[in-house]
A and B are shown apart, each in its own frame.
Chain A
């Protein structure tokens, strides 16, 4: 079975959309206060959940055709995007340890998927 380009595009799009989900949640978490009203008006939290849901829908459409062993690891590209957004939007330092840790995790996910063949 081969994996159509449209599936690859959809899964890559899902990982891109999903990375904004985490970014919105972080933005919302930074503005968290201990009262109910501020929770309801915290639009970033709602945007985060909505972004996650839409990323899930795009992902589901993507994996209808094609090999899961090819498509599944592509989702983890979202980790790389998230690293980029945390630098751009939250000014977080990107240290050697973070790159090394993420690199090991991504490689681990790839190797893990080889075992699912």
Chain B
């Protein structure tokens, strides 16, 4: 399915070019398009996976950082306190990192396949909240999370053909 895209669409030309470059460096034989596209699929999925992990950790850090801010304070004071709050700052940095990973992933794969995978963030956030904030789990939450994981699997597997 993806192999067909390579021949049909010009925008994948950049990826093919980049693959040829690395092949020159490592002095291997040029791989067939199908193998290359499978490699790209795995690469992009791994990157988006990392992106959701970073994003979820960022959310948890920001939430615990916000809890430490005073209830009544001026905007200037809040910004000063916020800047010295390591959880908030670390959370923002991780958000930056997750955006960089997303861009790198999008380089190797389709937007329509990779973007829905970001919903995995919900799963990590729920699991981390369970550990760090002792939030409860119920049948709805568990079912919802399983459905999201199932959906991501369907997306990933449908591309493998």
| A contact residues vs B (CB 8 Å cutoff) | 22-23, 25-26, 28-32, 45, 48-49, 52, 76, 79, 82-83, 85-87, 90-98, 100-116
Residues 108-145 of B at the A interface (beta carbon under 8 Å): 110-113, 115-116, 119, 122, 126, 137-145
**In the docked arrangement, what's the CA distance between A83 and B1, Å?**
18
Interface stretch (choices B26-34, B67-75, B147-155) = B147-155
CB distance from A49 to the nearest CB of B (A): 7
Chain B residues contacting A114 (CB-CB under 8 Å) are 140, 144
Specify which of A26, A86, A87, A100 is in contact with B158 (CB 8 Å cutoff). A100
**In the docked arrangement, what's the CA distance between A29 and B138, Å?**
39
Specify which of A93, A94, A103, A111 is in contact with B144 (CB 8 Å cutoff). A111
Given contacts A97-B159, A105-B151, A111-B140, contact A83 B112 (CB under 8 A): yes
Contact in complex: A86, B154 (CB < 8 Å): no
CB distance from A72 to the nearest CB of B (A): 10
CB distance from A105 to the nearest CB of B (A): 4
CB distance from B136 to the nearest CB of A (A): 9
**In the docked arrangement, what's the CA distance between A85 and B3, Å?**
22
CB distance from B129 to the nearest CB of A (A): 11
CB distance from A24 to the nearest CB of B (A): 10
Contact in complex: B148, A112 (CB < 8 Å): yes
Which residue from chain B places its CB closest to the CB of A31 in the assembled complex? B14
Contact in complex: A92, B158 (CB < 8 Å): no
Q: Summarize B's interface: helix, strand, loop or mixed.
A: helix
Contact in complex: B151, A108 (CB < 8 Å): yes
Which residue from chain B places its CB closest to the CB of A80 in the assembled complex? B116
Specify which of B113, B115, B144 is in contact with A22 (CB 8 Å cutoff). B115
Q: Is B5 an interface residue (CB 8 A)?
A: yes
Chain B residues contacting A115 (CB-CB under 8 Å) are 137-144
Contact in complex: A29, B104 (CB < 8 Å): yes
Chain A residues contacting B151 (CB-CB under 8 Å) are 100-108
Contact in complex: B148, A101 (CB < 8 Å): no
Q: Is B99 an interface residue (CB 8 A)?
A: yes
Which residue from chain A places its CB closest to the CB of B112 in the assembled complex? A86
Contact in complex: A85, B111 (CB < 8 Å): yes
Chain A residues contacting B60 (CB-CB under 8 Å) are none
Which residue from chain B places its CB closest to the CB of A91 in the assembled complex? B9
- Beyond A90-B112, A105-B151: 6 further Cβ-contacts under 8 Å? A32-B107, A79-B119, A85-B111, A87-B112, A101-B153, A115-B139
**In the docked arrangement, what's the CA distance between A32 and B9, Å?**
18
